[in-house]
């Protein structure tokens, strides 16, 4: 389904502010709200975890014990700590709100990536290089699940719905579903080689995901039916997606250097230029107060989307 701009809303005033991370070449990737209301994010280029105070615009950075760990995914755990994936180091890290860090080793070649708090209270994460989904308990016990995932699927992002884990298969062109007992079901995406990445659960019960190569946002309902909604900018290279206030989908367009907004019916409300050229927009996250932030991987910044005056 092709999407078009909705003229009556496309003119709504949107301002993008940028916050420069102190460490050069930080390469911020995934970001999430912490228990303190701050934005916590992975500095994949600096082997650090960063924290942005959204009210003051100030940063705090925490160096990881392991150098060149390439932290990527991060999620808030049920224990009140932040858990993160160290992709190059084959470790899972845990950081308290005070900055105390502990690491847990994975099997070599895991390539941990996306993370989320599961319905069972454990942190679940993708092992994109090993083609598995795994979980880690609050005390550090790890269990892996791989049976039923198509070979070479490269699972990435994870969302939760109906007590199960749903995940994107970036190289498999499918959306997968994993029950807590390890049963996998896969749903093919209609477009060929769409490269699904970031995912988010919507309040209406659907799950939305970006299709990086197909230039679209995908939606999968509770029955596993997938619809695709194109964005107007060609070759935008969508990377991140989140649900904003009112239920609209906000997405990052990496190559287009824009932030986009789509209504749940697939209509694109607007696309907005990022001030810094070639900023490398990746993850976008909504805080509980409705404020929107996104990571600028190539520019070493955190962007903020301000809607209205």
Q: Is the pLDDT of residue 4 over 60?
A: no
Which of the four pLDDT bands, split at 50, 70 and 90, describes residue 11?
A: low
Residue 8 — very low, low, confident or very high, per pLDDT cuts 50/70/90? very low
pLDDT class of 1 with cuts at 50, 70, 90: very low
What is the arithmetic mean of pLDDT over 19-36? 98
Residue-wise pLDDT for 254-297, tens only, equals 999 999 999 999 999 999 999 999 999 999 999 999 999 999 99
DSSP string computed for the chain? ----B-HHHHTS-EEEEEEE-SSTT--EEEEEE-TTS-EEEEETTTTEEEEEETTTTEEEEEE-SSTT--EEEEEE-TTS-EEEEETTTTEEEEE-TT--EEEEE--TT--EEEEEE-TTSSEEEEETTTTEEEEE-TT--EEEE-TTSPTT--EEEEEEETTEEEEEETTTTEEEEE-TT--EEEEE-SSTT--EEEEEE-TTS-EEEEETTTTEEEEE-TT--EEEEE-SSTT--EEEEEE-GGG-EEEEETTTTEEEEE-TTS-EEEEEE-SSTT--EEEEEE-TTS-EEEEETTTTEEEEEEE--
CATH superfamily of 7-23+114-307: YVTN repeat-like/Quinoprotein amine dehydrogenase (2.130.10.10)
Query: With 80 as the cut, is the pLDDT of residue 12 above it?
Result: no
pLDDT-based confidence at 118, cuts 50/70/90?
very high
pLDDT score of 2 more than 60: no
Where do the structural domains in the chain lie, given as residue ranges? 7-23+114-307
Q: What percent of the chain has pLDDT over 70?
A: 96
Q: Which whole number is the average pLDDT over 115-141?
A: 97
pLDDT in tens, 164-219: 999 999 999 999 999 999 999 999 999 999 999 999 999 999 999 999 999 999 99
């Amino acid at each position: 389904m092709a999407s078009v701009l909705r003229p009556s809303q496309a003119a709504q005033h949107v301002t993008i502010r940028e916050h420069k991370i102190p460490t050069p070449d930080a390469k911020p990737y995934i970001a999430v709200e912490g228990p303190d209301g701050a934005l916590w994010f992975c500095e994949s280029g600096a082997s650090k975890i960063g924290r942005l105070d959204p009210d003051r615009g100030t940063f705090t950075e925490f160096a990881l014990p392991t150098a060149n760990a390439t932290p990527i995914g991060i999620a808030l755990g049920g224990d009140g700590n932040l858990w993160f994936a160290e992709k190059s180091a084959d470790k899972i890290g845990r950081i308290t709100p005070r900055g105390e860090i502990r690491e847990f080793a994975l099997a070599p070649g895991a390539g941990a990536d996306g993370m989320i708090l599961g319905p069972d209270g454990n942190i679940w994460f993708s092992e994109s290089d090993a083609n598995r989904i795994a979980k880690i308990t609050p005390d550090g016990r790890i269990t892996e699940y791989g049976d039923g995932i198509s070979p070479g699927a490269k699972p990435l992002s994870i969302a939760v719905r109906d007590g199960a884990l749903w995940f994107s298969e970036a190289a498999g062109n499918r959306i997968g579903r994993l029950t807590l007992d390890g049963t996998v079901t896969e749903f093919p995406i209609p477009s060929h080689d769409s490269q699904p990445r970031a995912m988010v659960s919507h309040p209406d019960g659907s799950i939305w995901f970006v299709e990086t190569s197909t230039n679209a946002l995908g939606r999968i309902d509770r029955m596993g039916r997938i619809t695709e909604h194109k964005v107007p900018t060609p070759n935008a290279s969508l990377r991140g997606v989140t649900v904003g206030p009112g239920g609209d989908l906000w997405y990052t367009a990496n190559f287009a250097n824009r932030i986009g907004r789509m209504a749940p019916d697939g209509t694109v409300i607007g696309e907005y230029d990022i001030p810094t050229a070639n900023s490398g927009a990746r993850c976008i996250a909504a805080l509980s107060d409705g404020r929107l932030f996104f990571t600028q991987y190539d520019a070493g910044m955190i962007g903020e989307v301000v809607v209205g005056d």
